[in-house]
Amino acid sequence: MDRLIYTALTGMNAAMARQRAVANNLANTATPGFRGESFAVTPVMVKGGQLEARVLSQGAVRGADMRGGRMSTTGQALDIAIKGDALMAVQGRDGAELYTRRGDLRISASGILENGDGLPVLSESGPISVPPGAELSIGKDGRVFAGDPAAPDQPAAELGRIKLASRAGSAVMKDIDGFLRVAGGGVLPADLEAEVMTGALEMSNVDASSTLIEMIDAQRAFEQRAKLISTAGEIDQAGARLMSLRA
């Protein structure tokens, strides 16, 4: 019966991993620009010298669902929604260039333009620094301008252009921190044709109702495999009793 137990156990592990991915998606249904995690279970045939009918399960997050989310108008000058498939470059806490669709921007206490995750927004030359007291505006091409409220007649100074990167032809993976990276390292090229919509945010592409149903399904799959292990134990005990009767 140990074969049945190990087969069911791998199914339980896959169901638990699926539950974690679904729970993360459900927790981020209200996070701007969030891309849902795609989970897949791979059957693994156990091969040996004899006829082997066991198929184990191996489940893992395979990538991100890159479908666009719903656009929401906010009217905030520093909120941007990226048109098309481009990604916005931000600087990770390890200094690496990461990518996101989250466009709720703000000015940090140190004067750096950052997004809602608290990561600096990058231009081609690095993080965008904002002068104290400046009034920011963002053009449709991603250029950031700083105006002086005390001199409204003066033209606004350009601080830099937000790097909007193209993922065409590049393998992009979702890391454990929830951000997108180039698989194997490296950076994406800037998409000079990409545009943003100001005063709006792209919301999460996770549908709460279908994700909740998926979580219930993952929980039931876990319970079914737990019952298999219990059944295997009962069969093993019954076999032991039969052997004792022979003796």
- Confidence (pLDDT) at 42: 63
pTM above 0.75, yes or no: yes
pLDDT of residue 36: 87
Rounded Cα distance between 156 and 30, Å, is 34
Provide the pLDDT for residue 153: 85
- Separation between Cα atoms, residue 5 and residue 218, nearest integer Å: 19
- The encoded tokens of residue 44 equal 């693994």
C-alpha distance from residue 50 to each of 10, 46, 47 (Å)? 21, 10, 8
SS3 142: coil
- Residue 80 CA: distances (Å) to CA of 126, 129, 236: 19, 18, 62
Q: What pLDDT is recorded for position 45?
A: 65
Nearest to 64 by CA among 176, 156, 143: 176
| Pairing of the two strands 87-91 and 164-165 | antiparallel
Task: Evaluate whether 44 touches 57 at the Cβ level (below 8 Å).
Answer: yes
Q: What pLDDT does residue 141 have?
A: 94
Over the chain (247 residues), the average pLDDT of each successive run of 10 is 68 78 88 84 62 60 81 94 94 92 94 95 94 93 92 89 92 82 89 94 91 84 77 72 67
**Model pLDDT, residue 100:** 94
Contact status, residue 35 vs residue 174, Cβ threshold 8 Å: yes
